[in-house]
Chains A and B, each alone.
Chain A
């Protein structure tokens, strides 16, 4: 691409294999700010004349709003304004296909906690008092509490859209001839399992501060993982051009998926600021954070697998039923995710997947770490453990003998690149002494093994477009400093450090000579957000492109002065020098001066768009990723058969991260995932109960407080032995894949499998409480199966599946029965299906 007008596109130096920074445990760039209290979270901001806002939330689960009376509230001292739903009639929602939320409810409320009104006052106390004084009159509607009730109660509908009645989504797809696959099996195994819902519980309560600079310009600081999507929702609901709205995502105090929807309080704060002309702040209470939710969907699963005598899987039929709560959120994508990644670990030649997502009158579910995949992964890995036991095959061996091959395409058309699961299994098997100990420990002690895989970023954006999914812009000047602009959001995972380190590595400069400006929709190039473990791979690749272009510019400036071809220059240790004669060179700063003198003001950009995925059927949009991470775990449990009380004694976790950008940060993600997975396996649950009739009969959150929502403490955390496996993926920056979510996946099934090894009973649901183990033991003592778990899966008419021949069957990635398939199998992640199809041709 020799183009004199684009010197950054010309031939420049190449990145050496000898990395100086990448792969080392450098201190994260925000490390000092985080330990000194200098990091500014959203609630730490305040501005002159700032007022405080509170939301009045529904106290009933499903009702028409008959009237709102603010008379008493408006008499409270300090109250400056109210907002109701009428002032923001346009609906919003994270997915284009489920724009089903309003900033404030207009006609009806759908769960206890649904916001009805916003009030602002001079102090937080006054706003709180005013919110309590607002009177809302409701006309109750029938409450739908469970998946079963949603199926059996099509009317009244919680929403007036969706596939039928109170089923938001219903889908059915078949990859290959599954009946033929079952015919080839020697035995068919079937299990029904349940994964209870749970929530993210970030320590930081969501907060937003909005302020106006002009009558039609508003700035919104927020604890959000997805400033770009919030930006779009604000533009839609406020009716302002996007260019007049600035969203700045503050560093998040933990998020885990819980801050990736645009939220009512964010839109209301912006609207209130535009109404009052003064800064508005809202910080949710912990109770409200439980109502915002968007956490793990409760999922009931039925899994049937055909298996040959030697353990080879011939076909699988998976059915999942998701309890979605009251709104769409990411739910359509979540529904697909409960099936999409079943194929990327072990060869699954034929696969049928059917699913429903129900609307219920509970806080909306959405994406939590692992988004939709931990539930079916739990089902699959427990199911495999049972298969191994039944066939007397070692569970590790059963998995190792049928790993998906690297560089292959799965039966549902996902392209797998590097695949280090075999190494992961071998590492935890060796480390835990699995071969000597599994099945051989004394009663009460057991080992369980399980695996998992996750995306390094979703292949498609949430709304269809042809633009990059991540962008980085660099600005260099004679100071020798480099300013890095990127829309990515730091949620604690270390993404700022990743993009800064990649840039520093390529330019051969000190990490501290890079200045970051991130997550600001006015100033930074778009990055879609910190979700689906996409930032290291996508923003990382964009940073590589921007930094390589900058290096080429600087090299071409230095080359002339040094009289060495630009491509022979090396950038390292803050210098630019001739690779063959390191003494012949200059400082990086001097080189920048040369380049700035020659080319004028220096700046480059880099973009990243994931490769096209081979799937061409409706629904193929969920599941593809540029690279898949892999993990394997062995868990050791000590169970008291007399009480069912159990402890996790040790965890061995191996994770294939492709390549470590920073091993200390990778370890932090592994240990954090182990921790969160243990919480889900052992105690965390977001559950509801009906109040007695005389107390309104409402369906309420059982424990919207941190004390009662149990999560592991320091004292609950077992020792963890972690293995970092590096099987570089050609699509990853320096080969890197994700680590933020993957290592959570094996934990829940590994715990269940360890309990089986310890006491010989199965608990086919999580979280696993001691009484469940006891009941399973008691059942066994009565001569019944030693099992605790769901007994049946509801009868659902899924209709004709979308039939997609597999690669092995000579398919082309398209469905063969688009017209007669009974499903509306759109992925729900694109605005314009027509546009999407056009894009594919």
Chain B
């Protein structure tokens, strides 16, 4: 394996970095190992799970498949850049409140994919969210809390502060009474 190193300049979360790394290393490796930005996770390092999603020039990409050497001059956003000062981004806030992050391992990638979607389409339909996230696996949540959290955050980002996720998403559905034997 090559031990040749290279140095590249790119912006990460709005900050300039000149980073030296092994020429064959992925953006994932450089973010985590050279820049210490371990918020970006990995589940396969083969482009199969979506866990390592970051934004390059606003577009979601799989950082495990992206050669860092090819990121010269580009703008990279990771989960560490989402907070606004000490405040959570609305997506982060809604994910935390709804329990859309259980183990939280898929969360950074999904948050960034959702952020890219909302930047393009502030009022996505459920189907549009599903298709934007269909490359991101989550093994914990069963996906519903994630969808509800994104819809909630989208509403807040549109300025609709009254929107709330359905009660049934938090408390379950009310149980109706009907006996099986009635049928």
Contact = CB atoms under 8 A, between A and B. Distances in A.
Interface of A: 25, 27-28, 30-41, 43-44, 46, 77, 125-126, 128-129, 200-205, 251-256, 285-286, 394, 396-397, 400, 423, 425-427, 429-431, 434-436, 491-494, 654, 663-668, 670-676, 705-707, 711, 713-715, 717, 720-725
Interface in B160-183: 168-173, 175-183
Contacts of A721: 168, 173
Given A202-B139, A394-B180, A671-B145, 16 more contacts: A25-B171, A34-B96, A35-B92, A35-B93, A35-B111, A36-B79, A36-B80, A128-B1, A204-B41, A204-B43, A252-B103, A286-B46, A397-B181, A426-B175, A663-B170, A668-B145
Across the A-B interface, the 7 shortest Cβ-Cβ residue pairs: A37-B39, A435-B183, A492-B103, A34-B104, A253-B105, A675-B142, A671-B142
A752 B174 CA distance: 27
A794 B168 CA distance: 48
B96 A28 contact: yes
Given A37-B80, A125-B22, A203-B139, A434 B183 contact: yes
Interface centre among A41, A436, A668, A715 (most CB of B within 10 A): A668
Nearest to A44: B38
B136 interface: yes
Contacts of B103: 34, 202-204, 251-255, 491-492
Contacts of A676: 139, 142
Contact of B172 (A41, A201, A285, A667): A667
A145 B130 CA distance: 40
Contact of A37 (B43, B78, B98): B78
Contacts of A671: 141-145
A705 B44 contact: yes
Given A204-B41, A435-B180, A706-B43, A668 B105 contact: no
B175 to A, nearest CB: 4
A535 B118 CA distance: 38
B143 A36 contact: no
A70 B125 CA distance: 58
A31 B137 contact: no
A713 B137 contact: yes
Contacts of B177: 426, 430
Given A38-B39, A430-B176, A715-B130, A492 B170 contact: no
A492 B102 contact: yes
Interface in B44-75: 44-46, 48-49, 51
A192 B109 CA distance: 43
B29 to A, nearest CB: 9
B83 interface: yes
Nearest to A400: B180
B27 interface: no
Contact of A400 (B106, B137, B181): B181
B88 interface: yes
B143 A675 contact: yes
Interface of B: 1, 3, 22, 32-33, 37-46, 48-49, 51, 78-80, 82-83, 88, 91-93, 95-99, 101-108, 111, 129-131, 133-147, 168-173, 175-183
Interface centre among B37, B134, B169 (most CB of A within 10 A): B169
Given A426-B180, A723-B172, A717 B99 contact: no
Contacts of B136: 714
A668 B82 CA distance: 24
Interface centre among B78, B140, B143 (most CB of A within 10 A): B140
B88 A286 contact: no
Nearest to B146: A714
B183 A436 contact: yes
A664 B140 contact: no
B180 to A, nearest CB: 4
Given A286-B44, A713-B134, A714-B133, A41 B141 contact: no
A427 B172 CA distance: 11
B172 A724 contact: yes
Given A285-B45, A723-B172, A37 B3 contact: no
Contacts of A429: 178, 180
Contacts of A426: 175, 177-180
Contacts of B42: 43, 205
Interface centre among A77, A128, A667 (most CB of B within 10 A): A667
A706 B96 contact: no
B142 A720 contact: yes
Contacts, number: 235
Contact of B95 (A35, A397, A491): A35
Contacts of B170: 25, 663-664, 667
B89 to A, nearest CB: 8
A431 B39 CA distance: 41
Given A435-B180, A493-B102, A77 B95 contact: no
Contacts of A129: 1
A711 B43 CA distance: 14
Contacts of A202: 103, 105, 139
Nearest to A253: B105
27 contacts: A25-B171, A27-B96, A30-B104, A32-B92, A37-B37, A40-B38, A44-B38, A125-B22, A203-B105, A204-B105, A205-B42, A253-B103, A256-B139, A285-B45, A426-B180, A431-B175, A431-B176, A435-B182, A492-B140, A493-B102, A667-B170, A676-B139, A705-B48, A720-B142, A721-B168, A721-B173, A723-B172
Contacts of B1: 125-126, 128-129
A674 B178 CA distance: 24
B175 A37 contact: no
A309 to B, nearest CB: 17
A711 B140 contact: no
A592 to B, nearest CB: 28
A672 B22 contact: no
Contact of A35 (B48, B78, B101): B101
B38 to A, nearest CB: 4
Contacts of B88: 32, 35-36
Given A425-B180, A671-B142, A711 B137 contact: yes
A816 to B, nearest CB: 40
Contact of B139 (A254, A286, A427, A724): A254
A255 B102 CA distance: 11
A721 B142 CA distance: 13
B145 A714 contact: no
B45 A717 contact: no
Contacts of A723: 172-173, 175
A425 B170 CA distance: 21
Contacts of A714: 129-130, 133-134, 136, 143, 146-147
Contact of B171 (A33, A434, A724): A724
A717 B92 contact: no
B178 A203 contact: no
A36 to B, nearest CB: 6
A79 to B, nearest CB: 13
B43 A720 contact: no
A125 B21 CA distance: 12
Contacts of A667: 99, 145, 169-172
B176 A492 contact: no
A666 B171 CA distance: 9
Contacts of A204: 41, 43, 103, 105
